[in-house]
Amino acid sequence: MNTAGKAHGMDGSLVEPDWAPLTMEEVCALLSQFPGCGEPLEILSASPRPFSAASVAATSTGRVFIKRHHRSVRDQEGLQEEHRFLNHLHAHGAPVPRVFAAAHGETAIECGEWTYEVHETPRGVDLYGDALSWTPFRTIAHARSAGTALAQLNRAAEGFDAPRRKPRPLIASFSIFAAENANAEMKEYLAARQALSENAAVQTHAKVALELLAPFHAELRRLLPALSALWTHNDLHASNLLWSSEAENAKASAIIDFGICDRTNAVHDLAHAIERNIVEWLVLVEHRAQPDRVPVHFDHLRALLDGYEAVRPLTEDEAAALAPMTALCHAEFALSEADYFLGVLHSEEKARMAHDGWLVGHARWFHSAAGERLLGMLRQWAATRDRPGKRS
């Protein structure tokens, strides 16, 4: 954890946070509503994640994890969407933290302009606590274990039939390229978010991204009926896992941070894990004109896939869908980030990084030699992989 109170910047540097760190005064006021959590003693850490304020706090009964959101990002209803999913996963044996309920039964507490949530702190070592998304695993064994953990999560998610989430900032949904007509669905997506619909640059870059991503959508479209709807994490980066030890062969022991979860499908979740961990996108920020300089960790990719399929083998159609889904999966979250930067932070500069740098830049990268190598490897893997326990 980042004890200096800094946050992850958009280029990978540490910067002043957009949201002030939690104070002992507000932690005491909050936990007074959670009698099972004990008396607050000390704030132990401040998370470097940029979209909220979060800390681990010591109490008289142990440790708890507290997160504070601005209500324009997550109101009570929005957090309860996440908490219902977490409760289902916990009840079905997934290694996820328990969400604490206040004395009156609510798991999300609104106070003024803020919304709070309180979680248990799962057992495990926070090996990647300061790691950014788009930075790699330390070892092949970690990549394999992360794949296994994701497959276990997807198994546990089966049977959770809540509808997909309402339009909110910072959600990794899957609607634009889940449709036959991506152009029409893009228009609906933008129209539902005022900050995006009123921004000319977003409109322009959305059209460019649609053109760049059209071949991958065409590849995916015939496979869409085979992708069963499933609630998914959508952000399985190494930093959203706790680990059994600090060893090179440590196992993933818990999955955390369900803030961008939604009803998508298992291939979408696995594609996000590839996108988050295997491609070092931050290099593209510095070398946008040199896309082949972006490292791709193929050894970690193979291990991630092996670990996943050891628990949940993909069907042939799911495996075939993984390459185009990897190219498409980040598009909606890039737009959702732009919505956050424009509608909540009112920052045109940060929003441009999302809708130009991440939406268009990543889409264009998949047409580079490096991007084609990654997609080619995934297509070859889908065609030639061993499928023990193959599901029909």
Q: How confident is the model over 183-195, as pLDDT tens digits?
A: 999 999 999 999 9
Q: Region 265-283: what's the mean pLDDT?
A: 97
Continuous segment of H or E residues that includes residue 42: strand 40-43
* 83/77 Cα distance (integer angstroms): 10
Band the pLDDT of 168: cuts 50, 70, 90: very high
Q: Region 14-28: what's the mean pLDDT?
A: 91
* 163/182 Cα distance (integer angstroms): 21
Q: Region 357-370: what's the mean pLDDT?
A: 97
- Contact between residue 285 and residue 360 where contact means Cβ atoms under 8 Å apart: no
* 63/42 Cα distance (integer angstroms): 10
Q: Region 242-251: what's the mean pLDDT?
A: 97
Predicted local distance difference test score (pLDDT) of residue 9: 62
Predicted local distance difference test score (pLDDT) of residue 16: 83
- DSSP secondary structure letters along 189-225: HHHT-HHHHT-HHHHHHHHHHHHHHHHHHHHHHTTGG
Burial class (CB in 10 A: 0-12, 13-18, 19+), 288: middle
* 89/121 Cα distance (integer angstroms): 16
Which residue stretches of the chain are H helix? 24-31, 76-91, 140-157, 182-191, 194-197, 200-221, 266-277, 282-286, 298-309, 316-328, 331-343, 348-352, 361-365, 369-384
Predicted local distance difference test score (pLDDT) of residue 329: 98
Structure tokens at 142: 């970690």
- Contact between residue 60 and residue 38 where contact means Cβ atoms under 8 Å apart: yes
Q: Region 28-37: what's the mean pLDDT?
A: 94
Predicted local distance difference test score (pLDDT) of residue 391: 41
**pLDDT beyond 70 at 84:** yes
* 40/38 Cα distance (integer angstroms): 6
**pLDDT beyond 60 at 177:** yes
Predicted local distance difference test score (pLDDT) of residue 7: 60
Predicted local distance difference test score (pLDDT) of residue 390: 46
Band the pLDDT of 4: cuts 50, 70, 90: low
Q: Region 256-285: what's the mean pLDDT?
A: 97
Give pLDDT tens digits for 104-152: 999 999 999 999 999 999 999 999 988 888 899 999 999 999 999 999 9
Look-up of token digits 């053109």: 211
Greater pLDDT, 70 or 6: 70
pLDDT, mean over the chain: 94
| CATH code linked to domain 140-384 | 3.90.1200.10
Residues of the chain with CATH 3.30.200.20: 7-120
Give pLDDT tens digits for 207-244: 999 999 999 999 999 999 999 999 999 999 999 999 99
Residues of the chain with CATH 3.90.1200.10: 140-384
* 133/150 Cα distance (integer angstroms): 16
- 7-120 CATH fold: Phosphorylase Kinase; domain 1 (3.30.200)
* 108/307 Cα distance (integer angstroms): 34
Band the pLDDT of 392: cuts 50, 70, 90: very low
Question: Which residues, including other chains, have CB under 8 Å from residue 197's CB and lie 6 or more apart?
Answer: 190, 191, 203
